[in-house]
Amino acid sequence: MHRLKGKRAMITGGASGIGRATALLFAREGASVAVVDIDEGGGEKVAREIREGGGEAIYIRCDLTRSEDCQWAVQSTVDEFGGIDILFNNAGIIRRATVIDTTEEEWDMTMDVNVKSIFLMSKFTIPIMEEAGGGVIVNTASGWGLVGGARAASYCASKGAVVQLTKAMAIDHGGQNIRVNCVAPGDTDTPMLQSEARQLGIDESAFLAEAADRPLKRVGQPEDIARAVLYMVSDAASFVTGTTLVVDGGGLA
């Protein structure tokens, strides 16, 4: 349908999982896509897949915890595409542990990747959107940013921060015609979900079966979340800002 024809999008964590699915969907909808990730092999592969399908894409290696890397990634996207209309702050990590078992280094890394990266990427992107007359930002939160979860203290704290940061940014930048929302996925079949099973020492198939215990009786697929993000960045959501869209098969219900 080319709902994003002529739009220029940056996607962090675009090398795999939800980020990859969203990059491919955005490209099919007509957007030029900058795939931003520290995973060179995966990021290059996604960008190449988009180009081979007739779309326009670049890969940018970026350590999202470093200010200079984020600033360079934003400038590189502007240099390539001429501007940025959409920013999907999707990169994230999880450490399954209580506060007692979480090291200070693990806490800092979780907060840096899940929250600081959103602050940095938005800080450098918003002035470009403002100058162009507007834009859309979507941040990836989690159901565990709205309710608590066991043995995931740093993750829950970081995702709760994403929800509140989203609201604050929506208030601050609505006057510049910049909409800011977040998506809160439930358990989704991605490499991160698989890593949770390993961290907890649980058989992966048993972990996935437990995760599917929700009204729709399955875990999410990356494409489920990508379609929700597409809605939020499209004109269909032109009067939606400062909100959190839960996409979890009814898990929180």
Instruction: Give the model's pLDDT for residue 129.
Output: 98
Domain extents in the chain: 8-247
> DSSP for 83-95?
--SEEEE------
Active site residues: 155
Please give the model's pTM, rounded to 2 decimal places.
0.97
Check residue 234 and give its pLDDT: 98
pLDDT for the residue 1: 74
For the beta sheet containing 178-185, the strands, ordered from the edge strand earlier in sequence to the opposite edge, are 57-61, 32-37, 8-12, 86-89, 135-140, 178-185, 244-247
29 contact partners, CB below 8 Å, separation of at least 6: 1, 2, 3, 4, 5, 230
Fold of the domain spanning 8-247: Rossmann fold (3.40.50)
For the chain, list residues with pLDDT below 50.
none
| pLDDT confidence of residue 132 | 98
In the structure encoding, which two tokens stand for residue 118, read together? 């959103």
Residue with tokens 């098969």: 249
